[in-house]
């Protein structure tokens, strides 16, 4: 395999040298923020931590976590945040979270930290095999959500040609992609499937687009094997997973070896995995919540940020040669989206995989209802063309019974009934 790297030397450093690099960067972030950044200083002081005590990564556990609620409170005096290290004139960008769950959180970048975002996306795009020969299509409306804005910085770093595809319909986007002969695309997995659906409806031949690589972020999906298969089949391209968050940065990516998970960009982030209830570190290989300290965003840093994303560390060597640690299966789901149905832990990604493994299932929606101590699952599905709806309902029911030991209620709805999404999908609801 011809593996492409963004920074081969950094990506293949032995673990102890990555650790030394992280410790040096961490000390630099602390020195540049403590006593200057009000949010950081108050957190250190309230916990009794002395910045000088933070010498190794092991010392990090002496610091308290940072939560989304704290960062939201830090913007109450607005429009800036007490987590802004510098005066306003140092900043060149304000973005905010997508707001799919609750109040949007604002984040702030200086020219230097925006360059760092681009560097992180450089690892993502080169990791998927993109080079200066590629034309990258970004079908994204360039609003305040940071989303794929940072992908542009990554495309610049690897010198790929970026084709922006905001402000137009899906049909217009398909035509633009064919006209520009784009070879790569970055969007949510949901939108990659939506574009393929529109192409089918309009008899647009996707093979007129010389797509070879798709990179997906914003939600799980490219890490769900059955969803990945669908995207690859529809586009005739290799599909790659990537995860990040407005609050922390673009932190992990799937490499060309596709070992069934993603690499964490350890030169730019310190990764911890904790029990979401107790906050204690889990043992290697156990599921836990991803906690991140970023090392390149001095203007808006986070120390031990609780991402709410569930991951499982895989420390076996990767065939691509990178030494960055891996998340087995990527981001498994949100800690608060994991539902317990009749005693079974159910991740939305597991449900999505089971549904998408049925060719007859098109769009779907899952509602989990709690009655006293009991939870019930309702699955609404749209059939694809020509599928037998009764047989599909029976087959889906059997899959859930065999794989999860559950008997959800499965209902068929007419094609086109369920909502379609262009960014993050909301197919799971717990009521």
Q: Which residue, 269 or 300, is less far from Zn ion as judged by CB?
A: 269
Sign of the CA dihedral with 199 first, then 233, 226, and 306 last: negative
H or E stretch covering 392: helix 389-404
For Zn ion, which stretch binds (CB under 5 A), given 166-174, 196-204, 314-322, 400-408?
A: 314-322
Looking up tokens 């609003």 gives 143
Cα–Cα separations (whole angstroms), residue 275 to 157, 172, 282, 304, 332: 36, 46, 6, 14, 14
Q: Which stretch binds Zn ion (CB under 5 A): 49-57, 232-240, 252-260, 350-358?
A: 252-260
Closest CA to 254 of 294, 286, 214, 290: 214
* Binding status of residue 318 toward Zn ion by CB under 5 A: yes
Residue 264 touching Zn ion (CB under 5 A): no
Residues 77-136 that bind Zn ion (CB under 5 A): none
Question: What's the half-sphere exposure (Cβ side, CA atoms, 13 Å) at 425?
Answer: 25
Of the ranges 39-47, 250-258, 345-353, 395-403, which one interacts with Zn ion (CB under 5 A)? 250-258
**Rounded to whole angstroms, how far apart are CA atoms 406 and 389?**
20
Q: Are the C-beta atoms of 269 and 119 separated by less than 8 Å? A: no
Q: Please say which residue, 158 or 182, places its beta carbon nearer to Zn ion.
A: 158
Q: Work out how close the CB of 268 gets to Zn ion at its nearest, in angstroms, rounded to a whole number.
A: 16
Least distance in angstroms from the C-beta of 384 to Zn ion: 34
Residue 265 or 318 having the CB closest to Zn ion = 318
Give least dist CB 353 to Zn ion, A: 22
User: Distances from the Cα of 187 to the Cαs of 97, 239, 242, in angstroms?
Assistant: 16, 11, 10
Q: Does 322 bind Zn ion (CB under 5 A)?
A: yes
Nearer to Zn ion (CB atom), residue 40 or residue 320: 320
Query: Under the criterion CB under 5 A, does residue 257 sit at the interface with Zn ion?
Result: yes
Task: Give the binding range for Zn ion (CB under 5 A) out of 54-62, 232-240, 256-264, 339-347.
Answer: 256-264
DSSP codes, 155-173? HHHHTPEEEE--SS-HHHH
Is residue 250 within 8 Å of 120, Cβ to Cβ? yes
Q: Is the CB of 158 or the CB of 255 nearer to Zn ion?
A: 255
- Of 350, 239, 297, which Cα lies nearest the Cα of 120? 297
DSSP element (H, E) containing 215: strand 213-216
The answer to whether 425 contacts Zn ion (rule: CB under 5 A) is no
Site string for Zn ion, 198-237 (x = CB under 5 A): ----------------------------------------
CA dihedral 97, 101, 102, 108 (to 10 degrees): -10
Q: How far is the CB of 346 from Zn ion (least distance, A)?
A: 29
Phi, then psi, of 278 in degrees rounded to 5: -95, -20
CB of 128 to Zn ion, least distance (A): 11
Residue 319 or 416: the one with the smaller Cβ distance to Zn ion is 319
Q: Which stretch binds Zn ion (CB under 5 A): 147-155, 247-255, 402-410, 421-429?
A: 247-255
Stretch that binds Zn ion, among 142-150, 191-199, 279-287, 322-330 (CB under 5 A): 322-330
Question: Is residue 320 part of the contact set for Zn ion (CB under 5 A)?
Answer: yes
Which is closer to Zn ion, CB of 318 or CB of 404?
318
Part of the chain binding Zn ion (CB under 5 A), chosen from 31-39, 146-154, 179-187, 255-263: 255-263
Q: How far apart are CA 410 and CA 335, in angstroms?
A: 25
| Residue 3 interacts with Zn ion (CB under 5 A): yes or no | no
Sign of CA dihedral 421, 95, 78, 219: positive
368 Cβ neighbours under 8 A, 6+ residues apart? 339, 341, 346, 375, 376, 377, 378, 428, 429, 430, 431
| Smallest separation (angstroms) from Zn ion to the CB of 269 | 17
Q: Contact at 8 Å (CB) between 205 and 177? A: no
Q: Stretches 43-51, 172-180, 233-241, 253-261: which one binds Zn ion (CB under 5 A)?
A: 253-261
Query: Shortest gap between Cβ of 182 and Zn ion (angstroms)?
Result: 25
CB of 138 vs Zn ion, minimal distance in Å? 24
Q: Which residues pair with 216 in a beta bridge?
A: 187, 241
Q: Does 255 participate in binding Zn ion (rule CB under 5 A)?
A: yes
Please report how close the Cβ of residue 265 comes to Zn ion at its closest, in angstroms. 12
Peptide bond between residue 212 and the one before it cis (omega within 30 degrees of 0):
no
The answer to whether 265 contacts Zn ion (rule: CB under 5 A) is no
User: Under the rule (CB under 5 A), what is the footprint of Zn ion?
Assistant: 255, 257, 318, 320, 322
């Amino acid at each position: 395999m011809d593996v492409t790297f963004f920074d081969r030397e950094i990506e293949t450093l032995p673990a102890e040298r990555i650790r030394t690099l992280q410790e040096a960067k961490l000390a630099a972030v602390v020195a540049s923020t403590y006593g200057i950044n009000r949010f950081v200083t108050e957190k250190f002081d309230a916990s009794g931590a002395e910045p000088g005590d933070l010498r190794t990564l092991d010392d990090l556990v002496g610091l308290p976590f940072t939560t989304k609620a704290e960062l939201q409170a830090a913007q109450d005096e607005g429009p800036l945040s007490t987590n802004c290290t510098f005066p306003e004139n140092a900043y060149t960008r304000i973005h905010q979270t997508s707001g799919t769950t609750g109040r949007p959180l604002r984040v702030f970048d200086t020219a230097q930290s925006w360059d760092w975002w681009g560097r992180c996306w450089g690892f993502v795009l080169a990791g998927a095999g993109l080079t200066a020969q590629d034309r990258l299509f970004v079908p994204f409306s360039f609003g305040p959500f940071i989303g794929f804005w940072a992908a542009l910085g990554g495309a610049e770093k690897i010198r790929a040609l970026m084709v922006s595809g905001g402000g137009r319909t899906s049909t217009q986007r398909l035509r633009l992609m064919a006209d520009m002969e784009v070879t790569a695309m970055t969007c949510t997995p949901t939108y990659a499937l939506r574009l393929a659906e529109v192409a089918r409806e309009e008899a647009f031949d996707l093979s007129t687009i010389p797509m070879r690589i798709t990179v997906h972020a914003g939600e799980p999906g490219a890490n769900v094997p059955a969803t990945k298969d669908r995207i690859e089949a529809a586009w005739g391209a290799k599909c790659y997973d990537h995860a990040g968050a407005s609050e922390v940065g673009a932190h992990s990516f799937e490499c060309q070896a596709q070992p069934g998970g993603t690499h964490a960009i350890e030169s730019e982030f310190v990764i911890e995995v904790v029990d979401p209830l107790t906050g204690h570190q889990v043992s290697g290989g156990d599921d836990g919540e991803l906690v991140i300290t970023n090392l390149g965003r001095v203007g808006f840093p986070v120390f031990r940020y609780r991402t709410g994303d569930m991951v499982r560390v895989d420390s076996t060597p990767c065939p691509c040669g990178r030494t960055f640690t891996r998340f087995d299966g990527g981001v498994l789901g949100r800690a608060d989206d994991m539902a317990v149905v009749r005693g079974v832990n159910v991740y939305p990604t597991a449900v999505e995989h089971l549904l998408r493994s049925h060719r007859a299932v098109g769009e779907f929606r899952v509602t989990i209802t709690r009655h006293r101590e009991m939870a019930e699952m309702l699955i609404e599905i749209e059939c694809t063309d020509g599928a037998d709806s009764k047989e599909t309902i029976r087959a889906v029911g059997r899959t859930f019974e065999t794989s999860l030991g559950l008997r959800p209620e499965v209902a068929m709805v007419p094609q086109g009934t369920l909502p379609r999404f262009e960014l993050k999908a909301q197919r799971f609801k717990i009521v």
